Structure 1
């Protein structure tokens, strides 16, 4: 069979499998092609204690700690949102080489934080790149989850992230090498600096961010230890300041009984900024002459209980605490001092890969001045993975 006929056959098979929401994989010569993802509907009722955030805020699509309003209690009506923007798809290849090794690729897209679109008529949103990378002989080149993050520790929630303030969460361009239980990476640098009370994003670092990771797996579960070292830089308006940032994160999963499990993460460091809590705190404060890194501690713990083969629940607690330098409040404005949330859900899978669920989340945020606010959210989701 010619290559052209193989490609035609593959495209036809892909169309059929996509139409029937089935997993797809095929071979073209020495290359295997795979396609997957999921379709998900989210419907959310949200009540903010200190005033409702605007409809175009990302905090209306999923929980983002920094968007929780703080201040005096306001008579704000609850708001209802519904979207399918979390739906995603991925495309991958694996090619066998003459030396017996394989080169693999993956591209993944979704629509959750993309620009464009509106809710007036068509709800059309642009796709955004999540991951795009090449792997070969222990090396990874491209955009992927940061080596500083343990994605496997994230509990199963209806919310897009779940323990948002308590988890390391970052995807970016990187070069990574893995050998045995160890992996090391050089990743794209970016600094979030508070300047005169406002966030300034800079990419003026002279060196990449560096991470190291160790994985340990056993019958009882898994523990992952990661470390981060990087520069925070501010080179604007005549300033040329740099300081160092370091962090350590311990996360993992403990098997309890049957399919029941406990997942956790604890992260501590100086100047972690954008790596933790969806950037609920900035990496540092610029006081006009120096950069002062912000220390923080965060974490979460989640317990998943399987009631039977079709029903399961996750109970989750997450927190973040920043150690802001109170002597610099004149330069840092009113930064977040702490954030916490807890949630519980009930998920039902009548058949494999099809899941319906309901989840309740309560979240609180407090700033250095003592102003606080909270969020109560009830969410329903329907999801089918293919």
Structure 2
């Protein structure tokens, strides 16, 4: 019985991450003609105060690339406040009498904030899914719960949605997806889908996931062309130490697939002086802990980082990648969340982020984030 409770708690925590942060979203459900339909979503307010830098993006998430480095860090005005409700979302999910599921969901982060953005649009039947949803090269198992919508660097996989065809059987899933890559010094050509395989399961108080991805990165001008294969992998896990404490973490490695190294922000490969495509490698990870302190209150702490190797790219890319490009980012956070009544969450989070560019210049920034979310 205890093992089942721990397993359910871990799966519920993963569901929280899927819905964005706070508490698990409820839904308005009804049945009509055998169709089981749910309308769900939430209204969300985010407010941030950036102590050192103006480092907020849409939904007030931490924009690490906005952290000034070197001498510029000493000339930045301080104290920036902002608020928006762009994270708010609405979705419809329905299942036919034959067991076919349809899901369409959007939020208001599109176009920099305020316009509708498509998040999910897919159908699934008998283990076969087609449409846009979370990349199969993603897992929320090892994520620490944050108020920041974009969360920590170094989480497992792509951490976003993409068009795909996926097959799932038990804990295993396989997909062919729209590739997510970029090529410095050339116009990329997508010649094949990204191919992924993932396992995700739980046993007792442990939940785990691992995945691999392969994709092609290349270009073709009509007169010259070249390509290379990119690869990525991750592992993630969560351990329920007690009914009140969890420890979770992730590890990732990529080579020619930097878009799948979460929040690295660099190209997957570059074109060198000879016209050859050269892959960029990188690694990342995160670790955190969650504490349920009762009465709808919780405390979460976490650390995440990513680092890419740009030395050869700076030397050989002909200026497409420079010594001022970001080579590593890292962050620590701590938050307090409170659910005073069902479907309502409020919280505050402290964040400290660091950025270093290829030439060794670095900078840091501190900020506070407030969130209020009302689920339906």
Do they fold alike, i.e. is TM over 0.5?
Answer: yes
Encode CA deviations 1:160-210: one digit per residue, 9 max, x unaligned. Answer: 021134442231000000011110000002421122xxxx663x2221000
| Residue equivalent to 1:46 | 50
Encode CA deviations 1:314-348: one digit per residue, 9 max, x unaligned. Answer: 10000001122333364321322211000000111
Encode CA deviations 1:112-141: one digit per residue, 9 max, x unaligned. Answer: 2x1177xxxxxxx21100111101000110
Indicate how the Cα distance of structure 1 residues 286 and 268 shifts in structure 2: closer, same or farther if over 3 A, else same. Answer: same
Secondary structure, aligned partner of 2:115? coil
CA RMSD of aligned residues (A): 2.1
Q: For the Cα contact (< 8 Å) 2:154–2:252, is it kept in 1?
A: no
Matched, 1:263 2:240: no
**Offset at residue 71 of structure 1 (A):** 3.1
Q: How does 1:1-386 map to 2 (within 5 A)?
A: 23-48=27-52, 52=54, 58=57, 61-72=60-71, 73-97=74-98, 102-112=99-109, 114-115=110-111, 125-168=114-157, 169-195=159-185, 202=188, 204-236=189-221, 238-288=223-273, 289-326=275-312, 327-328=315-316, 330-331=318-319, 332-334=321-323, 335-386=325-376
Indicate how the Cα distance of structure 1 residues 201 and 44 shifts in structure 2: closer, same or farther if over 3 A, else same. Answer: farther
With normalisation by structure 2, the TM-score equals: 0.86
> Which of 1 and 2 has greater Rg?
1
Residues in 2 aligned to 1:67 and 1:317: alpha-carbon distance in whole angstroms: 19
> Which structure 2 residue ranges, 5 or more long, are not aligned?
1-24
**Offset at residue 68 of structure 1 (A):** 2.8
Residues in 2 aligned to 1:111 and 1:69: alpha-carbon distance in whole angstroms: 28
**Offset at residue 249 of structure 1 (A):** 0.3
Indicate how the Cα distance of structure 1 residues 246 and 40 shifts in structure 2: closer, same or farther if over 3 A, else same. Answer: same
**Offset at residue 351 of structure 1 (A):** 1.4
Residues in 2 aligned to 1:344 and 1:89: alpha-carbon distance in whole angstroms: 28
Residues in 1 aligned to 2:86 and 2:155: alpha-carbon distance in whole angstroms: 23
Indicate how the Cα distance of structure 1 residues 214 and 75 shifts in structure 2: closer, same or farther if over 3 A, else same. Answer: closer
Encode CA deviations 1:33-66: one digit per residue, 9 max, x unaligned. Answer: 11111111111001345xx46xxx7367312333
Indicate how the Cα distance of structure 1 residues 329 and 339 shifts in structure 2: closer, same or farther if over 3 A, else same. Answer: farther
Secondary structure, aligned partner of 2:138? coil
Residues in 1 aligned to 2:222 and 2:364: alpha-carbon distance in whole angstroms: 37
Q: For the Cα contact (< 8 Å) 2:59–2:87, is it kept in 1?
A: no
| Residue equivalent to 1:5 | none
Residues in 2 aligned to 1:382 and 1:47: alpha-carbon distance in whole angstroms: 21
Residues in 2 aligned to 1:302 and 1:273: alpha-carbon distance in whole angstroms: 23
Residues in 2 aligned to 1:70 and 1:166: alpha-carbon distance in whole angstroms: 24
Q: For the Cα contact (< 8 Å) 1:150–1:224, is it kept in 2?
A: yes
Residues in 2 aligned to 1:238 and 1:279: alpha-carbon distance in whole angstroms: 32
Residues in 2 aligned to 1:251 and 1:22: alpha-carbon distance in whole angstroms: 27
**Offset at residue 259 of structure 1 (A):** 3.2
Indicate how the Cα distance of structure 1 residues 318 and 116 shifts in structure 2: closer, same or farther if over 3 A, else same. Answer: closer
Q: For the Cα contact (< 8 Å) 1:191–1:201, is it kept in 2?
A: no
With normalisation by structure 1, the TM-score equals: 0.84
Runs of 4+ in structure 1 deviating by more than 6 angstroms, as ranges, are none
Residues in 2 aligned to 1:147 and 1:138: alpha-carbon distance in whole angstroms: 13
